[in-house]
Chain A
Amino acid sequence: GENVEQHPSTLSVQEGDSAVIKCTYSDSASNYFPWYKQELGKRPQLIIDIRSNVGEKKDQRIAVTLNKTAKHFSLHITETQPEDSAVYFCAASIYTGFQKLVFGTGTRLLVSP
């Protein structure tokens, strides 16, 4: 089955810096790659996603890139702000009548003022 690895497990940056979180996946049939943000004690919330027919997607300060050949994808956050501090999860999935998401282990991002 699918396996997703996520790095780093923790990331500390200064406000205004950029942050990059990387994930690799094992199943070349995976076709959907979402990123979730989870604040302490809250539910995961989708922040951006990308499908296998697209190499890059951007939404304001957040961007995701996908390299299908290398089977890895990354989350890029520019001009970080303290409210970006949270745990970020990547996921990969294959559609087989239902989009079964396999999650990475999470990255704790801390943005210091």
Chain B
Amino acid sequence: NAGVTQTPKFQVLKTGQSMTLQCAQDMNHEYMSWYRQDPGMGLRLIHYSVGAGITDQGEVPNGYNVSRSTTEDFPLRLLSAAPSQTSVYFCASSTAERTDTQYFGPGTRLTVL
């Protein structure tokens, strides 16, 4: 049982490039979410999903797209990376019964030049 996994661990992009951050969980959790963490700002919710085919925006959704085609995977897409998207990205999952107990992945450190 690997829990929540994220790839890659580190990524450097140039402004305007696109990429997808991968997130997978093997706990059969219905709920998944993406956060970004910036120095001095805590974690902020980007997008979340309450089940396959259902996604919604969080606090800071601009510049990011998500989709949820399976229960296990919840990728985060940056269509045109900007320096303001330099951050550490965490994926999290939780059960429908206890959406408050969120299990975080190890994170992806993204730098946009």
Residues of chain A at the chain B interface (Cβ within 8 Å): 1, 4, 6, 9, 32, 34, 42-46, 49, 89, 91, 93, 95, 97-106
CB-CB < 8 A to B94: which residues of A? 99
Q: Which of B40, B56, B99 has the most CB of A within 10 A?
A: B99
Residues of chain B at the chain A interface (Cβ within 8 Å): 31, 33, 40-45, 48, 50, 56, 58-59, 90, 94, 99-102, 104-107
**Shortest 8 CB-CB distances between A and B: which pairs?**
A103-B42, A43-B104, A99-B99, A99-B100, A103-B43, A105-B42, A32-B100, A44-B104
Closest A residue to B56 by CB, please name it.
A98
Q: Tell me the total A-B contact number using a CB cutoff of 8 A.
A: 55
Q: Check A103 against B44 for contact (C-beta < 8 Å).
A: yes
Q: Check B104 against A49 for contact (C-beta < 8 Å).
A: no
Q: Check B42 against A45 for contact (C-beta < 8 Å).
A: no
Closest B residue to A43 by CB, please name it.
B104
